[in-house]
Amino acid sequence: MFGFLSNDLSIDLGTANTLIFMRDKGIVLNEPSVVAIRTDRSGGMRSIAAVGLEAKLMLGRNPTNITTVRPLKDGVIADFTTTEKMLQYFIKRVHENSWFRPSPRVVVCVPCGATQVERRAIREAVTGAGARKVYLIEEPMAAAIGAGVPVDEPRGAMVLDIGGGTSEVAVVSLNGIVYSASVRIGGDKFDESIINYVRRNYGMLIGEATAERIKFEIGSAYPGRELKEVEVKGRNLAEGLPRSFTLNSNEILEAIQEPLFGIVGAVKTALEQTPPELGADVAERGIVITGGGALLRDLDRLIMEETGAPVVIAEDPLTCVARGGGKVLDMIDRHGSDFLATE
């Protein structure tokens, strides 16, 4: 009941960011998937201190009675209760003007590598957060639809969605996924690699937030552009004191080689495994990259050089999955549920 009082939502429940697309309104929420939990001094009660951006600012800067949690890991739920609370908060926030408790229909994306248990957990969490009905859709499918790739044609199109925790590569044709693979490499792995590189080569310890900032500012996936530098502050492991030092883009390129080639390997495997007709379509039209990872400089160039197929970055790659889910919501009403994932 009161379903008509809340708008249908499409949620991209990502490891790094959660995005919510609302019918008629577009992207209404884009917040980090971080929850800060305050533990009572006596140690008993746990309550939510902050969710989203506010909580992310606390990440690594919290006192002992507050713990910041990223409830999703590798694209799936690692902490069920916290995920549920976070979704509850987000759904409530996008329905701020409602008098009644929102109970929308929700399309939520799952990594195509997620197991049955993981899918069930995502469904349960969204239901627990107040959804009236939950539809699951595989991330690359939503990404393809959101990017504007014609998925209903009998032509193959390859989508590479690089998220925070996982990268999904899929070949879609005729509203369905022909081949899909998921590697647990994403933006977080890049950050981790940068942290490790800095510790190894500079003997300095930097936090996740700093690593992410370095990646944004000077990270690139292909050599040849102008050299960029960034000043970083961290803790010197030998002295135990904060020190500042300079990193350049070539160093970062070197640092993230391993995760980069994990992704490139997945794309190459996908091209190998794709039926030849569809492979030819992909080689002719190209591979579409979506997700936050697509913002890494020259990533398209790297994949283009490695695979020999044209590579394009979708517009507004961060929101592709959520927008695709929004379009699917519409299509469920009109065409039924071809696109939806089975549990």
Partner 1 sequence: MSEKIQANKESAEEVPEKTENSPSIGARLRAAREANSMSVEEVAQALHLDKSLVIALENGDREHLPEPVFVKGYIRHYAHLVGIQPETLAPPHDESVVSSGGFPARESATPKRDFSYQAPGNRWAPLFAGFIILLLIGLSAWWLTRPKHEAIPASVLEKSASRIAGTSTPTARTAPTITLSGVNPAMSSSASNAGISRMRIVNGQHSATPIAPLKEASPSGAMAAQSENSSSQAHASASFLPQSDTNSINQAPAQNGKAASSLQVKITRKSWIQVTDAKGHVLMRGLFNAGTHRELNGSLPYSVILGNARGVSLFLSGNSIDDSAYIQPNRTARFVILPDGKIQP
Residues that bind partner 1 (CB under 8 A): 4-5, 8, 23-24, 145, 147-150, 152, 284-286, 288, 300, 304, 308-316, 326-327, 330-331, 333, 335
Strand, helix or coil for residue 284: helix
Cβ distance to partner 1 smaller for residue 40 or 277: 277
In the complex, the smallest distance separating the C-beta of residue 50 from partner 1, rounded to whole angstroms, is 31
Cβ distance to partner 1 smaller for residue 333 or 343: 333
Cβ distance to partner 1 smaller for residue 56 or 155: 155
In the complex, the smallest distance separating the C-beta of residue 331 from partner 1, rounded to whole angstroms, is 7
The set of residues, in sequence order, having a beta carbon less than 8 Å from that of 273 and lying 6+ positions away, is 179, 181
In the complex, the smallest distance separating the C-beta of residue 116 from partner 1, rounded to whole angstroms, is 29
Strands 311-313 and 287-290, how do they pair?
Answer: parallel
User: How many other C-beta atoms can be found within 10 angstroms of the C-beta atom of residue 335?
Assistant: 12
CB 295 within 8 A of CB 317: yes
In the complex, the smallest distance separating the C-beta of residue 340 from partner 1, rounded to whole angstroms, is 15
In the complex, the smallest distance separating the C-beta of residue 123 from partner 1, rounded to whole angstroms, is 23
C-alpha distances (whole Å) from 48 to each of 41, 42, 91 are 14, 16, 15
Q: Is 67 exposed, middle or buried (0-12, 13-18, 19+ CB in 10 A)?
A: middle
Cβ distance to partner 1 smaller for residue 254 or 316: 316
What's phi and psi for 129, nearest 5 deg?
-80, 0
In the complex, the smallest distance separating the C-beta of residue 23 from partner 1, rounded to whole angstroms, is 6
Cβ distance to partner 1 smaller for residue 206 or 314: 314
* Tokens encoding 291: 């997700």
In the complex, the smallest distance separating the C-beta of residue 2 from partner 1, rounded to whole angstroms, is 8
Cβ distance to partner 1 smaller for residue 253 or 313: 313
Indicate left, alpha or beta for 148 from its phi (over 0: left) and psi (-120 to 50: alpha): left
DSSP string, 159-171: EEEE-SS-EEEEE
DSSP 220: B
Cβ distance to partner 1 smaller for residue 49 or 329: 329
In the complex, the smallest distance separating the C-beta of residue 180 from partner 1, rounded to whole angstroms, is 19
Beta strand ranges found along the chain (DSSP E): 9-13, 17-22, 26-32, 35-39, 46-51, 66-69, 72-73, 76-77, 105-110, 133-138, 157-162, 167-173, 176-183, 204-205, 229-236, 242-248, 287-290, 311-313
* Tokens encoding 294: 């697509």
Query: Distance from CA of residue 142 to its chain's centroid?
Result: 12
Cβ distance to partner 1 smaller for residue 230 or 312: 312
Cβ distance to partner 1 smaller for residue 10 or 15: 10
- What is the C-alpha separation between 122 and 98, in angstroms, rounded? 25
In the complex, the smallest distance separating the C-beta of residue 283 from partner 1, rounded to whole angstroms, is 8
